[in-house]
Amino acid sequence: MLTKKDVIRLLEEIAIYMELKGENAFKISAYRKAAQSLETDERPLDQIDDVTTLKNIGKGVGEVINTYITTQETPVLDALKEEVPNGLIPLLKIPGLGSKRIARLYKELNITDKESFQAACEEGNVSALSGFGKKTEEKYLAAVKELGAKKDRYPIDQMIGLNQLITDYLSQIPEIERFEVAGSFRRMKEMSKDLDYIISTENPLKVQEQLLAIPQLVEKVAVGETKVSVTLSYDDETIGVDFRMIEPAAFYHTLQHFTGSKDHNIRIRQLAKARDEKVSEYGIEQADGSLLQLDSEEAIYEHFNTPWIMPSIREDGSEFDKDLTGIIQMEDIRGDIHMHTTASDGAFGLREMIEANIAKGYDYMCITDHSQSLRVANGLSVERLLKQNEEIRALNAEYDEIDIYSGIEMDILPDGSLDYEDDVLSQLDYVIAAIHQSFNQSEAEIMKRMETACRNPYVRHIAHPTGRIIGKRKGYEPNIDELIALCRETGTVLEINANPKRLDLSADVLRQHPDLMVTINTDAHHINHLNFMKYGVATAQKGWVKREHVLNAMTRESFKAFVTQPKQGN
């Protein structure tokens, strides 16, 4: 389903390509202003009858938008992509090197890709241009070298995208009976070096032939009857992928074996040895030499008199010795209490988000758009926030299936103050506090900001507590132990942000604080983002979090009591 966010992305991408091309500044501005007009309009796309009635959207840009909406085609962008060297686009990932600067480098130094940019930096040609200093050139050189380097690990968010492409491709190969991703990605590790697939088939050579025709193919690393190893191109990276073809009877044994981890499988082998058995990817060899092949992973664990161990916690072998009773599961989640609508920077309106949460089977939800200081996300002024509060109250009375709570994701400002006064916050059901700016402050300054939020009587939880983006941004530096002690004292809950870019808090932190009260939320900006919950739950599982320590595993009645009572600890 096409959303307003898709149109906004198109307009912003056109503006970037125009800038790289060196197009007229007024023309570029027209697309950026149009994107901003759509962002600030609170209606979903299907409620806007004529985009040209919006401020700053004229006939020309309106035609581009309407063409995209009606045909899903982007002729203006396609034409620009033909004119602008494709190698310039990866340079946009370099910090401090925006499209304006890249356009100038293209025009004045004929830089067309990362190789020519690296050479220009090494030769001192970039710093020779006015406005580019030697230190800036050195930073660019370090960044472009990193951009071109083969990585050892890739973040889970990136792997999710590649996995989806591969899954779509494998799903249309008729000779494949079933397949499943394995390895560290199946264990939902934050970073993985490659992707592994187990394929059940009676015709491995036919499958092999089609695997070698996958569109993203860069290199054939190894090709055999039972295994194909390749590198695929995705998101300006080349990532290794292994496909293992196996007879259907051995499928679940192969899946279990190649899901790993190594230490987990050592414990399995030890259990087998104690029974005078041997395990392999093909099955369980019995004492008499016969091969036992079971029809599910659960049956494999049951065979060894071991409770089912979910892939997310198959790590160092200690999981065999843990009491797995009560560890949080997807089916325990009763609501999602951090999400955004078109009122700020979300893709869908209130009613659409409500109905998407109902479709999830949730008992309750909180609408928490961005606050007024976050202008880049169209944060809500006091007037808009209180108006939305009234709308949510009315919708809550309309829907019996779910309790809908009004809230806000409020910025903790750089000076330590909060984005709204208490008289505003007191009118909301649920207040989240978050840091979105001034990440380079000292630990003491960050903790001062956190303390202000935690001690506020209306702030219920702290969102994405470190601000990290996995593999891309370290985030700010709170003293985690101090923050957790502060949250315990004030009755403030810490979030596991389930967006796979974040997974913040991390499992490492959770393992060190076994009784910490947390909430697992998707921070959804799109109805599809509600599906991120599984990544947050997996993070909690890795941290051995029990159901009773997850706020949004509460029953409908218990959560209502929590929200309507004054915050404990204040």
Q: Which CATH number do you get for residue 267? A: 3.30.210.10
- Do residues 127 and 105 make contact, with C-beta atoms less than 8 angstroms apart? no
Q: Tell me the pLDDT tens digit for each residue of 309-332.
A: 999 999 999 999 999 999 999 999
Q: Tell me the pLDDT tens digit for each residue of 424-466.
A: 999 999 999 999 999 999 999 999 999 999 999 999 999 999 9
* C-alpha separations of 57 from 9, 53, 112, 161, 341 in Å: 15, 7, 32, 33, 22
Q: Tell me the pLDDT tens digit for each residue of 164-209.
A: 999 999 999 999 999 999 999 999 999 999 999 999 999 999 999 9
422 pLDDT tier (thresholds 50, 70, 90):
very high
Percent of the chain scoring above 90 in pLDDT: 93
d(Cα 547, Cα 553) in Å, to the nearest integer?
A: 6
The confidence score (pLDDT) of residue 384 equals 97
Number of H helices, E strands in the chain: 21, 17
- Residue 495 and residue 361 in one domain: yes
Among the three residues 148, 168, 196, which one is the final residue of a domain in this structure? 148
CB atoms within 10 A of CB 398: 10
46 pLDDT tier (thresholds 50, 70, 90):
confident
- Residue 493 and residue 345 in one domain: yes
**Domain with 487 in it:** 330-564
Q: Tell me the pLDDT tens digit for each residue of 558-570.
A: 999 999 999 987 5
Q: What is the dihedral of CA 402, 403, 406, 412, to 10 degrees?
A: -90
- Ramachandran quadrant class, 558 (left: phi over 0; alpha: psi -120 to 50; beta: rest): alpha
* C-alpha separations of 46 from 36, 55, 341, 342, 349 in Å: 18, 18, 14, 12, 10
490 has pLDDT over 60 = yes
The confidence score (pLDDT) of residue 570 equals 52
Q: Rg of the Cα trace of the chain? A: 26
Flag whether 431 is in a domain: yes
- Residue 91 and residue 158 in one domain: no
Domain count, the chain: 4
Closest CA relative to residue 208, chosen from 194, 222, 193: 222
- Residue 338 and residue 304 in one domain: no
- Residue 459 and residue 388 in one domain: yes
CATH of the domain at 489: 3.20.20.140
263 has pLDDT over 90 = yes
Q: Is 416 exposed, middle or buried (0-12, 13-18, 19+ CB in 10 A)?
A: middle
Q: Is 551 exposed, middle or buried (0-12, 13-18, 19+ CB in 10 A)?
A: buried
150 has pLDDT over 80 = no
- Residue 242 and residue 108 in one domain: no
Hunting for tokens 């941290």 — which residue is that?
543
Flag whether 480 is in a domain: yes
The confidence score (pLDDT) of residue 149 equals 75
Q: Tell me the pLDDT tens digit for each residue of 493-548.
A: 999 999 999 999 999 999 999 999 999 999 999 999 999 999 999 999 999 999 99
The confidence score (pLDDT) of residue 95 equals 87
Flag whether 251 is in a domain: no
Beta bridge mates, 217: 232
Question: Which phi and psi angles does 61 have, rounded to 5°?
Answer: -65, -35
- Residue 479 and residue 537 in one domain: yes
The length of the chain, given as a count of residues: 570
- Residue 73 and residue 163 in one domain: no
The confidence score (pLDDT) of residue 372 equals 97
Flag whether 443 is in a domain: yes
- Residue 138 and residue 158 in one domain: no
Flag whether 132 is in a domain: yes
Flag whether 252 is in a domain: no
User: Average pLDDT of the chain?
Assistant: 95
Q: Which tokens is 405 given?
A: 């709570």
- Ramachandran quadrant class, 326 (left: phi over 0; alpha: psi -120 to 50; beta: rest): left
- Residue 11 and residue 43 in one domain: yes
Does residue 149 or residue 8 have the better pLDDT? 8
* C-alpha separations of 144 from 97, 120, 122 in Å: 11, 11, 11
- Residue 216 and residue 361 in one domain: no
Map residue 508 onto helix, strand or coil: helix
